[in-house]
Amino acid sequence: EVQLLQSGGDLVQPGGSLRLSCAASGFTFSNYAMTWVRQAPGKGLEWVSTISGSGGYTFYADSVKGRFTISRDNSKNTLFLQLNSLRAEDTAVYYCAKGINVDYGNWFDSWGQGTLVTVSS
Amino acid sequence: EIVMTHSPATLSLSPGERATPSCRASQSVSTNLAWYQQKPGQAPRLLIYGASTRATGVPARFSGSGSGTEFTLTISSLQSEDFAVYYCQQYNNWPYTFGQGTKLEIK
């Protein structure tokens, strides 16, 4: 059974940093692209970033480019999202999601439970 | 970026009725479209990919249709557990984009 267990959400001040983690099990982690999707309170889903199975390709939404960094440790079956220069509009529940192929992910067939990031002074 | 637009924003129906929320893309996405269901406090759940292929474990009352810019999710006979928010997502172009969702509520 695929499981994605997230951690790292917290309350952080504007301009601060945070690192989110997503521990994967139940599948061959390096064979699949992984993605972060966020959802602001009461709002819809927003794609944030995708990383290929090898980690060689990364893609970012314009809203986070230059501030967020996606990475993965295939030896530890773990996905990361480093959030820097945080803004109030980054406040959201962040989900990690498993793609269906190694390069781009396409659609997402399994999701983590979500972790809340709140940016406020 | 491709903008995905749902209609209607809210759909009020009774159990047993048929639901047909729609999703329109601002430019063609071929059949590179997925549908997700999200209930309050839960992560999204994949329902449909490739515009019309049901994901594993999804009941047969859910079906998807469309190509290009116009897509429809059909729930043939609503069950109580189907009242939720439904999102479409295109994966034809970067950035991947979601619609704002259709909320399916009990009438």
Mean pLDDT of B28-37: 98
Q: Searching chain A, which residue's CA lies closest to the CA of residue B5? A: A44
Nearest to B34 among A35, A43, A107 (CB): A107
Output the pLDDT for position A68. 98
- Nearest-CA neighbor of A86 among A70, A64, A58, A62? A64
Give tens-digit pLDDT for B38-97: 999 999 999 999 999 999 999 999 999 999 999 999 999 999 999 999 999 999 999 999
Other C-beta atoms lying within 10 Å of the C-beta of residue B10: 12
The answer to whether A50 faces chain B, any CB pair under 8 Å, is yes
- Nearest-CA neighbor of B1 among B34, B35, B26, B31? B26
Q: Which residues of chain B are within 8 Å of residue A46 when distances are taken between CB atoms? A: 98
Q: Which residues of A86-95 are buried (b: 16+ CB within 10 A; e: fewer)?
A: beeebbbbbb
For testing contact with chain A, the best of B31, B38, B52, B91 (most A CBs within 10 A) = B91
Give tens-digit pLDDT for A4-59: 999 999 999 999 999 999 999 999 999 999 999 999 999 999 999 999 999 999 99
Output the pLDDT for position B28. 98
Q: Which two tokens stand for residue A1?
A: 């059974």
- Shortest alpha-carbon distance between residue B49 and chain A (Å): 7
Contact by Cβ (8 Å): B16, B106:
no
Task: State which amino acid sits at residue B76.
Answer: S
Whether the per-residue pLDDT at A104 is higher than 90: the answer is no
Tokens 């061959």 belong to residue: A28
Output the pLDDT for position B72. 98
